[in-house]
């Protein structure tokens, strides 16, 4: 069901530590949409392409049992290692099926993952396993923006860095940049929501740690191991920040996009 880009053990560990975490407000949007018409027990939910579990954990308060699935053994190992929530179970799933019975799931989610899927197969499995009035939620976050003083220059430097790496991302990366504009959910009842923001205050090195998990950066460094482009970015951003304090906090925000569809039959 999914392509494989984030499987190395070191990458999985860095990914878990440095990737942004979705705020509770995002899951509240999804649960609110589910609750509008689904009136049965909230027993089972599944998070497909769960990675190291950042999105799976948000489901825990709402359901009796939550399953997180990923094709990467290392990502699942990382998720299990840090998991302290008793009603979450993580499993490797390398085939195209969602391993649940027909009409057994209240909610299926895919966070920052649907652009790697064979969507025809994924939609077929979602339709098979969702209960009547169950919901499919596909969501992700945009490239971050830097707010505050000197933001115009900082964002220009960052955008130029991203454009340099863009050829080294898998081709499906453009789906994130377009906020899943080309992904159409297979349900008559569906909505899009872009109101939730992920906000942080990070110092420069924390920001660069996040960038170092990009598949585009990793592929670039595999091709050009002698280049220090992230150090060049650090120098340019620090200069634009006009400070001598390397721990100066940067205001970072990630826009999110949520696609919600309801199975009505």
- Characterize 13-47 residue by residue with b for buried, 16 or more Cβ atoms within 10 angstroms of its Cβ, and e for exposed: bbbbebbbebeeebbebbbebbeeebeeebebbbb
pLDDT of residue 5: 39
- Using a pLDDT cut of 70, give the percent of the chain over it: 94
At 14, is the pLDDT very low, low, confident or very high (cuts 50, 70, 90)?
Answer: low
pLDDT of residue 81 exceeding 90: yes
Question: Which domains are present in the chain?
Answer: 9-146+172-201+256-263 (3.40.50.150)
Span 164-211, pLDDT tens digits: 999 999 988 999 999 999 999 999 999 999 999 999 999 999 999 999
pLDDT of residue 3: 45
The pTM of this model reads 0.89
Torsion of CA 53, 56, 58, 62, to 10 degrees: -150
Q: Are 254 and 144 in contact (CB under 8 A)?
A: yes
Between 59-63, 115-119, 156-160, 161-165, the lowest mean confidence (pLDDT) is in 115-119
At 231, is the pLDDT very low, low, confident or very high (cuts 50, 70, 90)?
Answer: very high
pLDDT of residue 7 exceeding 60: no
At 58, is the pLDDT very low, low, confident or very high (cuts 50, 70, 90)?
Answer: very high
What is the pLDDT averaged over residues 36-52?
96
At 12, is the pLDDT very low, low, confident or very high (cuts 50, 70, 90)?
Answer: very low
Q: Are 12 and 6 in contact (CB under 8 A)?
A: yes
């Amino acid at each position: 069901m999914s392509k494989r880009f984030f499987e190395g053990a070191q990458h999985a560990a860095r990914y878990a530590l440095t990737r942004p975490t979705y705020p509770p407000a995002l899951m509240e949007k999804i649960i609110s949409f589910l609750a509008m018409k689904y009136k049965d027990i909230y027993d089972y939910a599944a998070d497909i392409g769960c990675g190291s579990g950042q999105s799976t954990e948000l489901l825990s308060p709402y359901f009796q049992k939550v399953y997180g699935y990923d094709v990467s053994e290392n990502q699942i190992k990382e998720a299990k290692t840090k998991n302290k929530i008793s009603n979450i179970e993580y499993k490797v799933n390398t085939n195209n099926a969602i391993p649940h019975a027909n009409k057994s799931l209240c909610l299926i989610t895919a966070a920052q993952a649907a652009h790697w899927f064979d969507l025809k197969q994924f939609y077929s499995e979602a339709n098979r396993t969702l209960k009547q009035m169950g919901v499919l939620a596909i969501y992700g976050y945009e490239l971050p923006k830097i707010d505050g003083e000197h933001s115009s220059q900082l964002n220009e430097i960052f955008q130029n860095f991203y454009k340099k790496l863009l050829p080294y991302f898998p081709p499906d990366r453009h789906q994130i940049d377009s906020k899943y504009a080309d992904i159409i959910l297979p349900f008559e009842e569906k909505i899009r929501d872009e109101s939730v923001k992920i906000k942080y205050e990070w110092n420069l090195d924390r920001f660069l740690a996040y960038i170092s998990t990009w598949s585009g950066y990793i592929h670039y460094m595999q091709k050009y191991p002698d280049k220090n482009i992230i150090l060049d970015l650090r120098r340019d951003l620090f200069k634009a920040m006009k400070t001598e304090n390397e721990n100066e906090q940067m205001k970072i925000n990630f826009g999110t996009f949520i696609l919600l569809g309801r199975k009505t039959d």
